[in-house]
Amino acid sequence: MSTSNLTMLTDLYEMTMMQGYFKSGVQETVVFDAFYRSNPSGGGYAICAGLDQIIDYIQNLRFSEEDISYLRSLHIFDEDFLSYLKDFSFSGDIYAIPEGSIISQTPEAGTSVGAGSQVSFVVSLGKKEILYRMEDYIIEEPQGSEMVISANISLADANGKEIARWDGVPISSFPYKISTNKDITTSTGTISIEWVLDDGDSHTQDESVQFVQK
């Protein structure tokens, strides 16, 4: 697995809360649970996966000079806290459901135990949802278009959830450009095109589409 610095992939309030723990001087152990509210795609269960990525993240959790310089530029963090971040490393404990286990949304998927300033930050991993956008996509006029009068077009993400829809697009509009400014949560998706024929019949073709990270 390649090592990436994901330390700053978090929300600002996580950093201000971390400073609050640090400035309070409280050394007591705290416990944070990680869980999710619903199974993906409306299913009855989920598979616990990704422990290797979490372990890699925590082992390489460091604040670079660039990270600290950026935080300093916000003028909301004290110098003693920024100095603490220079040598930051996680020293708590993590308990997790074994990789590959079948789970529901009820039990905790993982528990972090340790100093408040550390645990509160570590559990922010995964809260930051990666979003994608769709670049302009051109649909060409189909072969045998003399029989086509219009098209119904549907854009869905990799989970089959419809993102956008264009109904009754006349054949005279092709090549046809589709686009949407909606946030998308998967990196790939499918464009389904229902070609409506002049005899009342129709046929459908699917095209794969790649989305771009925001």
Per-residue pLDDT reduced to its tens digit, 100-111: 888 775 555 554
User: Does residue 135 or residue 42 have the better pLDDT?
Assistant: 135
pLDDT of 85 reads 92
pTM: 0.48
- Selection from 162, 155, 148 nearest residue 201 by Cα: 148
Beta-strand ranges (E) seen in the chain are 29-34, 46-47, 93-96, 102-103, 110-115, 132-133, 137-139, 148-157, 162-170, 176-178, 188-197, 202-210, 212-213
CATH architecture of the domain formed by 132-213: Sandwich (2.60)
Specify the domain boundaries for CATH 3.20.140.10 within the chain: 12-122
pLDDT higher than threshold 70 for residue 112:
no
Say if CB 194 and CB 152 are below 8 A apart. Answer: yes
Mean pLDDT, residues 108-125 taken together = 52
pLDDT of 79 reads 96
pLDDT of 111 reads 47
Mean pLDDT, residues 200-210 taken together = 92
Specify the domain boundaries for CATH 2.60.40 within the chain: 132-213
CATH architecture of the domain formed by 12-122: Alpha-Beta Barrel (3.20)
